Structure 1
Amino acid sequence: MFVRIAVFDPLPVYRHGIMTILREAGLSGDAPDDVFAWMDGDHPRLVVLSLLGGDDWERLGRLCRTYDDVLVVALLPDDAVTTHVRALAAGAVAAVPRDVQPSAVRAAVEAVIAGRTLLPIDVLRGLTTPGAVTPPEAVPPSPRELGWLRELSTGATVADVADRAGYSERMMFRLLRELYTRMRAGNRTEALLLARERGWL
């Protein structure tokens, strides 16, 4: 089966390294500057995506919400069970720390292409055992998301925010809902109160 592969990381040398690992396994990949512009066509798509900050986590969520058939292998900033679980809950189908050996990255990508995933046992337990993983702390919004919250706090409607951001109103509702979830807020009011309490606004 032919699968288009993209590698997305802010460091060119790291992208080059991942692409070299894939080539050695007989796979080819692209290193697009804009992963969303790359996501066209009918072939199955796999994205190897580094998660280093709030914008990266937002990118993961948006990718998986917008393209329900995309396969994402997340490259994590650490090997904590909570970080693995968070990436998988956001839509990734596999996750490995960024500092693993090349063979582990290759194995994760090859497994996903074959329709499987490789998970550490502790991560599997964290996914399947209620209360096994302490919920992560509220994630600070990205600068763009803070802009949305500021607009909402001054009385703008979701339609207003969507129009200025270039999204449909429906998509903006989805993005805001995902933001509230990451902030550990149940709704817009709770999110705005939390943002003020934490000094984000």
Structure 2
Amino acid sequence: MPVEIAVMDPLPMFAEGVVHALATAHMAAEAPADLLGWANSRESAVVVMTVAAPHHWEPIHRLVAGGHRVVVLLDDENGPLGAHAVRAGARAVLSRAATGGTLLRTIEAVLDGQVLMPVAVAAGIAAATTGAAGGTLTTDQVSWLEALAAGGTVAQLAERVGYSERAMFRLLQDVYRRMGAANRLQAIMKAQQQGLLRTVDPSAAR
């Protein structure tokens, strides 16, 4: 049985164009109005999804948890959102401006069990991993603490890095636990003591 494919994009005409391009390659694709409802009625499918706003990340987590293979389309696939997509469980990251042929080859590779991402994204993920302080925090996580230490809010941080506020809160709670900190202020103070942060005033994060 051929794999089913869903396409989600803020612009209906764009989604319909992708569906048509895949149909010409004999792939069963559609642009459902209720993406999660569509996915919940299927055991395993491929979802080609444009991420254009922070609230688009939550469906990706749910789709991945449901066993679906997600191909994320981004306006700038080489930027930090590309790495976020991979960490969220996307099987591939692709430019929204990619050709139909490139998308087709990407989907075929994903169906073959591969994970595809731009070289810049892979390099960024590797640098974050090897740059983790004492193997505990990634460079991204350190930058989150720096933003909070400078007085930024979780909502502002979430908007900057491309997560929903709720997802950002969960990620930060994980950081605090890994540091053995009970809250944001303790985490910032511990990070300062370990020399992870640039000079900041922890009182700004109260």
TM-score scaled by length of structure 2: 0.64
Equivalent-residue separation in structure 1 for 2:118 and 2:11 (angstroms): 27
The answer to whether the aligner puts 1:35 opposite 2:54 as a matched pair is no
Mapped contact 1:82–1:134 kept (Cα < 8 A): no
* Number of residue pairs matched by the alignment: 159
Following superposition, which runs of at least 4 residues in structure 1 exceed 3 angstroms of deviation?
Answer: 40-43, 131-134, 181-191
Mapped contact 2:6–2:35 kept (Cα < 8 A): yes
- Determine helix, strand or coil for the equivalent of 1:47: strand
1:98 match: 96
1:107-118 correspondence runs (5 A): 107-118=105-116
Mapped contact 1:2–1:44 kept (Cα < 8 A): no
Let me know the Cα RMSD of the aligned residues.
3.2
2:201 match: none
Moved more, 12-21 or 79-88: 79-88
Mapped contact 1:3–1:43 kept (Cα < 8 A): no
Q: Deviation of residue 13 (structure 1)? A: 0.4
Q: Structure 2, unaligned stretches of length 5 or more?
A: 133-137, 145-156, 186-203
Q: Structure 1, unaligned stretches of length 5 or more?
A: 147-175, 192-196
Equivalent-residue separation in structure 2 for 1:55 and 1:189 (angstroms): 25
- Determine helix, strand or coil for the equivalent of 2:28: coil
Moved more, 127-136 or 34-43: 127-136
Equivalent-residue separation in structure 2 for 1:99 and 1:112 (angstroms): 19
Identity of aligned residues (%): 28
TM-score scaled by length of structure 1: 0.66
Listed one character per residue, the Cα deviations across residues 18-57 of structure 1 (whole Å, up to 9, x for unaligned) are: 1012112210112111111101345421111110001112
Aligned in 2, Cα 1:180/1:33: closer, same or farther, shift over 3 Å?
same
Rg larger in structure: 2
1:10-49 correspondence runs (5 A): 10-49=10-49
- Determine helix, strand or coil for the equivalent of 1:96: strand
Mapped contact 1:94–1:112 kept (Cα < 8 A): yes
